[in-house]
Amino acid sequence: MNNRIEIIIFTAIILLLAFITYQRNFIWKDEITLWKDSAEKSDQKYRPHSNAGHAYLQNKEYGNALAELTEALKQRPGAAKAYLNLGQVYEGLGQKDKALINYQTALKYSAKNADIYQFIGNFYEKQGLIDSAVAYYKKGLEIKSQSPMLLVSLGSSYQKKKLFKKAIDAYNLALRISPNITEAYYNLGLAYDEMGSFDRAESYYYRALSLKNEYPEALSNIGILKARSSRFDEAIALFQQALQYKADDTITMFNIGLAYEELLKQRGETIFLRKAIETYNRILKIDPQNIRARKRLLRLKRKSR
């Protein structure tokens, strides 16, 4: 009888532990659930609310992120990280003025944090204020001269100003510090592409692809280079591969349509006419206001009569 009681108690403990484990597994199933649970259990602490806010931000749940980060700042009003994350939340919500105010507040509380300079630089670059972006990237690099991502951002701004030599120097310096930065290789490809050095551009696009297989922009740009050399079959294959990773990219689809039209001119086979028409129709399903696709479709339909 005692043995039976012991077995029942032991089984009950095992079941209880299993239930607790199940609950804990549920709580830890993702970062949002983890930090939300932690914040609920530690309502007066900064870190759980800050981390929950960051997790919501990563998931683009801006309303929840705003609530958590606001609560975090009640617990620690001078927390630069929370202000930095709030800036990103407001950017996500399209409230640019509030975004910049929060980035500047983060900088006020942490003036030696190079990452904040990069965020502000990125903000200005997105607004097309390239000189302001460059100024902030340079300030960040004064603090953290060996930051490869700051160098890549600086190179990107130089490239937008058509200062290709400075851009290339910045990318190469970033790669000397950290040799596997995909964006640096891709941006080098763009720089040489714009300069007309197509062979070098292609080699850098392929280098970016060697580090990141799912890189639709690199695939599409190589496709454009192939099309410039009248290698339209190869171009189409690359464009279609790019669409596997970015299925609604109407620019890549438009390039496929153009490539089919060129093959129609070269070979005169009606299959290419049909495929071009199908491609432009596909674009118009995604973007009914696409004027370029509509014009080419109408022209091809007249040709097919």
Annotate 158-179 with b (16+ C-beta within 10 A) or e (fewer).
Answer: bbeeebbebbbebbebbbeeee
- pLDDT value for 301: 86
What's the gap between Cα 282 and its chain centre? 25
**Are 151 and 125 contacting, i.e. CB atoms less than 8 angstroms apart?**
no
- pLDDT value for 40: 53
pLDDT per 10-residue tile (average), the chain, 305 residues: 43 42 40 48 73 88 90 90 93 95 94 94 95 97 95 96 97 97 96 96 97 95 95 96 96 95 92 95 96 94 76
217 class by beta-carbon count within 10 Å (0-12 exposed, 13-18 middle, 19+ buried): middle
- pLDDT value for 305: 66
Give the pTM.
0.79
Tokens (6 digits) for 159: 């490239």
- pLDDT value for 162: 96
The answer for residues whose C-beta is within 8 angstroms of residue 164's C-beta and 6 or more apart is: 158, 191, 194, 195
